[in-house]
Structure 1
Amino acid sequence: MTADQVKGKGFRGALNYNLEKVNKGVAKWLDTSFAQHYERTIMDEVKMIRVLRPNLAKYFYHTSVNFPPHENLKDEQMVTIAKDYLEAMGFNQHQYAIFRHFDADHPHMHILVNRIGYDGTVLSDSNDYQRSEQILRKLEKHYGLTEVISSRQAKERAMTKNELEMMKRTDEPSVKMKLQVTIKNILNQKPTAEQFVTHLEAQGINVLFNQASTGFVSGVSYGYDGMQFKGAHLGNAYKWQAVKNAINYEQERDRTTIYQANIRTRANQPERTGESTGATKRAIADTKVTAGNRNDVQQGAGKLQDQIGKANRNNSKAAQSVGEHGGKPILSNKKYSGERGADLSIQQSGRQQMGNSAIRGGNLIGGLLGVNNNANNMDQNALNQFERSRKKKRGQSLK
């Protein structure tokens, strides 16, 4: 037996799917905990239990239990197996519905369960796939059914549902199947380690070994068509332990062969995430600043920003000089000793405009004052006006 499990948010969709099968005559009810077989009444009962755990999103559990084609089971046997399965999984006090389907070439049944129990407890879904597989193995033995090899014992991993659907659409085998067939054919030739690697690479398959510095190999993975698979993903027959026993391998003799194969595989792998591309490296070079010598490497926006910063600092210094020294420019004796006479008249005539340019709204102040006016005059005028206004108010209050 095999079981495909689904956990989801909606009970109604799976219920309608099975009810439609029943209406079409390709399915039948086997057993249920619900009072009636109608969608509306079933969903009403489900809602009554859901209110016990309103915040639980995935409350619905659905599994399809499949039997081999030659297993001719009666309905009563299926019901017994289904109830034993539910009890072993922990669904002792839960709503459920069991349907038998006849729309495939093998007997199978669908079991729908509410994960919320009648007492409001929620059955944990931790390791449910492993638990389900163990329960199926026990049921097979108990009822004398065909025993299916577990996924741990299987030499080859079966195709997933998505892989099977893709194969139907493209009419081509999946990458996993191609790898399994190719590697199996090579292993059947009993090659040496070097031949094993050479034959794989000739088929476009790169092989990567998990090799320690001592030469010890603990694992292997296979890459094909841009996809990488660990040996365990393909099946136990493709793990290194099985491959090592199938080929002529000696650790000391073949360590160089395996090491060189790893080098070729890594060289052919796409650029890893985190490595700088050419554009990234150029961007880093454009913005890189060498400690202690910023001016030598500033470029682009960084250089422009530096120029703007210098201009702002010069304007601020000029404005500060005008305010602190009564309009007289401060000139360094060292720097301007030979140019004092030529530059003094220019700086004196332009000092007010330069000072205002560093002040927000400085153009308005310059227009009010003019180049020949002094800020002290404006302050005095304002003080005189304030005194006249105060005297006028005092005189009115005396009257």
Structure 2
Amino acid sequence: MIGHIEHGSNFGGLFRYLLATDKGARIIGGNAAGDTIEQLTQEFNNCADQRRTTTKPVKHFILSFAPEDGEVEDDLKQEIATQAIQRLGYIDNQYVVIEHQREDPGHDWNHDHDHIHIAVNMISLEGQRVDDWQDKRRFEAIIRELEQEHQLTQVAPSRERKQKALTHGQVQKYKRQLRDVKTGKQTQPPDIPISIKLQAAIDAVTRDKPTMTLFIGRLQHLGIDVKPIITATGRKRISYHIDGAKPFRGSKLHNGSFPKLISQRGVNCDPQRDRKAMEYAVNHQQVTLPPEQLINWSEINLSLYLPKALDTESLGKEKQKKTEKALINHSRINTINQSSEKLEKEKALMSSLPLTPEFSPDVIEKQQEYTLTIAPIAYRWLKANQTVRYEAKDNLIEYSQGRLTIKDGEGNYKMIAQSVGVEQHNFQQWQCINLPQNSPGLTQKDVERFTGSEMKDALRELEQKNNQFIKRRKGRGR
């Protein structure tokens, strides 16, 4: 599940939105006496008036279930809503649980998942204000607990995601442009959001834990104006600027702030050594680097950073390949001019990506073979355990936005696979993605472990239990 919290001062405005006739709204739970916009507004306002010093007594929680959960029963939605707000401390408070249908005229696309809204009065029936300190963080932790307790699809916590999520507006805009490409209304590919370009660039240039000078020079070569600043008091901050858009603070990107570049990404910053490069960056001067240390946009697959639904929605396989190529061309900045070199890099990017250059061809081929053998089993294992992250003694398996990885006990990559769609029998298809340098890769022992009888028996048992649970739940629904 994905949770979102809003707060405000106007119960009338909230209930007019939640109970709008075009949303197919249904009240499925709560403790309020009224059931119309006017009745609920009056009822909640009367209670809030007990504590007029609280100017924003409105709490609005949104819970979206994963598409994999299918159609969730009303009883379960109501139970989860009640448990969530009570664990947040809203025990003696008015609340209403409202379901909206998936078809939503207010949006360009219908929802592909069930979702509910919970309107809560922050002022209790006794006139006390509930402490909502760190509600967002606590709400997310509670959601993870409820997913496990009710055997729902587990979603990766926001702190474990590799990038900041796109806003609803960005997703809607991208979908509109995808639709227009399909229908021929526009020939240009959709505009990649600036946040995705910056995120992908930062990931690419920090892969080998560079110095701050190298970090700055690489980003400048990609057309990104970066400003790293250390104040007189020692405070560190950084911003990124691209394509004439507003500058992005580092904190708005995953591990993009100055402190996290150092602590999480391993960027080596020596104030004395890197002082000149930092001054150049602040004054919009170019840091010169040897060509072999630079990274070009043609080496960065931007489509891997798009949410899975946006990456392939409404486009056939052939159109998708052309679009991915166009996305890179459209967003390329300051890349090398030799057309032959660009063509070769684009061909390499659009095909199954090789592993690190230090591997010999026969080792690369073997790693690709191991990946295509293990990836379907690892993905099936995660689904059977209803999680996106599974940690064992020797391996950590993770899945996020179409990318499946396996790491060893020390956090080194053994496998990176990218989903490339579903074939006719509904099986996920995978391609091998290049590993960072010095990665151990997969071994024959890994293949034997994943394809052995012990794994097969464990998978069969888990999947049988899951199927039995689904049948029982459907039986209760009848």
* In the alignment, structure 1 residue 101 sits paired with structure 2 residue 100: yes
Cα 1:57–1:244 shift into 2, 3 Å = closer
Cα-to-partner distance string for 1:296-341 (whole Å, 9 max, x where unaligned) = xxxxxxxxxxxxxxxxxxxxxxxxxxxxxxxxxxxxxxxxxxxxxx
**Alignment partner, residue 197 of structure 1:** 216
Cα-to-partner distance string for 1:138-190 (whole Å, 9 max, x where unaligned) = 22222222222222222211123455567678953332222012233444588
Q: Greater CA deviation, 169-178 or 43-52?
A: 169-178
**Alignment partner, residue 296 of structure 1:** none
Measure, in 2, the Cα distance between the counterparts of 1:230 and 1:115: 33
Measure, in 2, the Cα distance between the counterparts of 1:29 and 1:226: 43
* Equivalent pair of 2:226/2:282 in contact (CA under 8 Å): no
Richer in helix (by share): 1
Structure 1: segments with no counterpart, 5+ residues: 270-399
Residue type of the partner of 2:193?
S
Q: What is the correspondence of 1:340-359 to structure 2 with a 5 Å cutoff?
A: none
Measure, in 2, the Cα distance between the counterparts of 1:18 and 1:2: 18
Measure, in 2, the Cα distance between the counterparts of 1:117 and 1:217: 42
- Residue 91 of structure 1: SS of its match in structure 2? coil
Measure, in 1, the Cα distance between the counterparts of 2:130 and 2:13: 21
**Alignment partner, residue 260 of structure 1:** 276
* In the alignment, structure 1 residue 117 sits paired with structure 2 residue 124: yes
Cα 1:190–1:131 shift into 2, 3 Å = closer
The structure 2 residue matched to 1:179, chosen from 189, 198, 212, is: 198
Residue type of the partner of 2:261?
W
Measure, in 2, the Cα distance between the counterparts of 1:25 and 1:240: 44
Q: What is the correspondence of 1:219-234 to structure 2 with a 5 Å cutoff?
A: 221-224=239-242, 225=244, 227-234=246-253
* In the alignment, structure 1 residue 137 sits paired with structure 2 residue 155: no
Q: What is the correspondence of 1:1-399 to structure 2 with a 5 Å cutoff?
A: 1-20=1-20, 23-24=21-22, 26-72=24-70, 73-103=72-102, 104-161=111-168, 163-164=170-171, 172-187=191-206, 195-209=214-228, 221-224=239-242, 225=244, 227-236=246-255, 239-241=260-262, 244-245=265-266, 256=273, 258-268=274-284
Structure 2: segments with no counterpart, 5+ residues: 103-110, 178-189, 286-478
Cα-to-partner distance string for 1:81-121 (whole Å, 9 max, x where unaligned) = 10000101111111111012222111110001111111111
Measure, in 2, the Cα distance between the counterparts of 1:53 and 1:193: 53
Cα 1:264–1:111 shift into 2, 3 Å = same
Aligned-pair distance for 1:193?
6.0
Residue type of the partner of 1:77?
L
- CA radius of gyration, larger in: 1
Measure, in 2, the Cα distance between the counterparts of 1:226 and 1:34: 46
**Alignment partner, residue 383 of structure 1:** none
Residue type of the partner of 1:181?
A
Q: Greater CA deviation, 153-162 or 81-90?
A: 153-162
Cα-to-partner distance string for 1:8-43 (whole Å, 9 max, x where unaligned) = 1111222122222xx447332211212231223223
* Equivalent pair of 2:57/2:123 in contact (CA under 8 Å): yes
Residue type of the partner of 1:241?
I
Scaled by the length of structure 1, the TM-score of the pair is 0.56
* Equivalent pair of 1:137/1:148 in contact (CA under 8 Å): yes
Aligned residue pair count = 260
Cα-to-partner distance string for 1:360-395 (whole Å, 9 max, x where unaligned) = xxxxxxxxxxxxxxxxxxxxxxxxxxxxxxxxxxxx
Q: Greater CA deviation, 231-240 or 129-138?
A: 231-240
Identity of aligned residues (%): 27
* Equivalent pair of 2:8/2:59 in contact (CA under 8 Å): yes
Cα 1:31–1:172 shift into 2, 3 Å = same
**Alignment partner, residue 289 of structure 2:** none
* Equivalent pair of 1:208/1:222 in contact (CA under 8 Å): yes
Cα 1:217–1:126 shift into 2, 3 Å = closer
* Equivalent pair of 2:25/2:100 in contact (CA under 8 Å): yes
RMSD (CA atoms):
3.3
* Equivalent pair of 2:164/2:254 in contact (CA under 8 Å): yes
- Residue 236 of structure 1: SS of its match in structure 2? coil
Aligned-pair distance for 1:133?
1.6
* Equivalent pair of 1:207/1:261 in contact (CA under 8 Å): no
Cα 1:43–1:92 shift into 2, 3 Å = same
* Equivalent pair of 2:30/2:95 in contact (CA under 8 Å): yes
